[in-house]
A and B are shown apart, each in its own frame.
Chain A
Amino acid sequence: MKVLVPVKRVIDYNVKVRVKADGSGVDLANVKMSMNPFDEIAVEEAIRLKEKGAAEEVVVVSIGVKQSQETLRTALAMGADRAILITAAEDPAQDIEPLAVAKLLKAVVDEEQPGLVLCGKQAIDNDMNATGQMLAALLGWSQATFASKVEIEGDAATVTREVDGGLQTVKVKLPAIVSADLRLNEPRYASLPNIMKAKKKPLEEKTAADLGVDVTPRLTTVSVAEPESRKAGMMLGSVDDLVEKLKDLGVV
């Protein structure tokens, strides 16, 4: 079985995000970019499936600007076999919407015929949490989102999902879309020799136009603003002071 893993290049999760003064977006100039943390988890899971013998090949795909190559190389260094880059924008500030991403991924799936697509649950920039579900819809496939455990048995996957009430386990027919949640695994670091090796692994480049997909956004950004900020309050000297404050507030 082939596993396809979509990986997105996003602002690093440690960066303090700044909204641009003109309200057009957030400042992406000279900030550290990394692989979306959930996608690292998805890549890790795919590699583990291969190591267990449940998968033969791990293909990673990224959609965005040319620089997403770096993200794909990181995935190759972790242990993915080959990469596909679909350039769909020139401006790093242009985000490709989940619906367009899902349509592009569908075109890749039609070509590659994977038995499983393992994506991240959410991109930490747009916080959409949508692409995997949309791709499953377009393909007419089953979906198991927010996975904390994945087991492949024959033509089905048993997936434990993190849901509001606790955990839910579902069995989905393959081919399927699974989206990775935080506790699925702990991604490995790429070793230096593997980083070197990754440079020689195949990376195929395409454009959205090659795949015949229209990526025109359905949502237009009117403005981007800072959230209401909270001011730091006061430091209290003792537990008694806190008890006092809570009584004053009437919460206790």
Chain B
Amino acid sequence: MAVLLIAEVTDGALNMDATAKAVSAVAGLGEVTVLCAGGEVEGAAKEAATIQGVTKVLTAEDPLYGHRLAEPTAALIVSLAEGYSHIAAPATTDAKNVMPRVAALLDVMVLSDVIGIDDAETFRRPIYAGNAIQTVKSGDPVKVMTIRTSGFDAAPTGGEAAIDSVPVGTDPALSEWVEDKVAASDRPELTSAGIVVSGGRGIGSKEDFAIIEALADKLGAAVGASRAAVDSGYAPNDWQVGQTGKVVAPELYVAVGISGAIQHLAGMKDSKVIVAINKDEEAPIFQVADYGLVGDLFTMVPELTEKL
């Protein structure tokens, strides 16, 4: 058995955390070959080659793959599929875009958001916003899956896998990239941060979200948000935590002015320690919080920031 693992490469940079966690998730299945596709992947490939458990790194370097468009990327993966029993990727938005397309081209089902691998054919994944965990057996000849990395430890570095290039495919010319709007930030990345401070509708405005950001900066934390906070324009979409946003499992998660709807809990209930600040003592968030504070966030959060 052999695994083709699609590395997360964005604008030439390897997402080391997601990729290394995915390696440790699939390492038990067989030899792991990592594919780095992108406009410029040399640096990413060298870094991926250091992940222990990786046997080989393949590079597909071409502007065609520079913006992770689904059509050419899926075609590339399918062209390399022969000989692999498993094709996997960390469950990022890029992979969720591409992997089902790969699976359908191979006439197999996709396994989305895998949280546990029992054996080569048996996988665990959350359903119903994490309110149930399904164990499924796949009868398909090749297993195509995305891996929810929050539950896996990153594989250590120190390896020295060989790097090889693969032929670049032709452009299906179905779509073109127009622009990326990415906010630069000095804060840690949300899904790999050790501490996350999230704000909800209770914050009330975009301006007041600064209270959350100040606490996060004091803690060296990433900033998250509920859907309601994003929908209301207090926070950008890429901060959303939940069933349909990002899934995080930091050492410490601080939920401020968030009621704790199941769709939000789906994205953070595996955090080690949860702290909730809410003025409503009945808020469901307190049912999952290790420490709760009932009161007005506009006084409590600045006080906390100051006292830390």
Q: Which residues of A contact B (CB under 8 A)?
A: 11, 13, 16-17, 19, 26, 97-99, 102, 121-122, 124-138, 141-146, 148, 158, 161-173, 176, 181-183, 217-227, 230, 232-236, 238-240, 242-243, 245-246, 249, 251-252
B275 proximity list for chain A (CB < 8 A) = 242, 246
- Contact yes or no, B111 A219, CB < 8 A: yes
Tell me the minimal C-beta distance from B248 to chain A in angstroms: 12
Q: Residues of B within 8 Å of A, CB-based: how many? A: 90
Q: Which residues of B contact A (CB under 8 A)?
A: 10, 67, 69-71, 74, 92-94, 96-105, 107-113, 122, 125-140, 173-183, 191, 194-195, 219, 227, 230-231, 236-238, 243-244, 246, 251-252, 262-263, 269, 273-275, 281, 286-294, 300, 303-304, 307-308
- Contact yes or no, A227 B132, CB < 8 A: yes
- Contact yes or no, B112 A133, CB < 8 A: no
B230 proximity list for chain A (CB < 8 A) = 183
- Contact yes or no, A243 B308, CB < 8 A: yes
Tell me the minimal C-beta distance from B170 to chain A in angstroms: 14
- A166-B231 contact, Cβ under 8 Å, with A99-B109, A142-B175: no
Q: Chain B interface secondary structure, helix, strand, loop or mixed? A: mixed
A-B contact pairs, 23 of them (CB 8 A): A97-B109, A98-B109, A124-B129, A125-B127, A129-B96, A133-B96, A133-B97, A134-B104, A137-B104, A165-B238, A166-B181, A168-B180, A168-B181, A169-B180, A170-B177, A220-B137, A227-B133, A230-B287, A236-B292, A239-B307, A243-B304, A243-B307, A246-B308
B96 proximity list for chain A (CB < 8 A) = 129, 133, 145
- Contact yes or no, B101 A136, CB < 8 A: yes
When A and B form their complex, which 9 residue pairs have the shortest distance between CB atoms, in order from nearest? A233-B290, A142-B174, A137-B104, A134-B104, A130-B100, A133-B100, A169-B178, A218-B109, A17-B131
Per the bound structure, the CA–CA distance linking A97 and B307 in Å amounts to 52
Tell which of A126, A218, A238 has the most Cβ of chain B within 10 Å. A218
- A148-B10 contact, Cβ under 8 Å, with A168-B67, A242-B304: no
Tell me the minimal C-beta distance from B238 to chain A in angstroms: 5
- Contact yes or no, B112 A127, CB < 8 A: yes
- A222-B135 contact, Cβ under 8 Å, with A146-B93, A232-B287: yes
Tell me the minimal C-beta distance from A58 to chain B in angstroms: 24
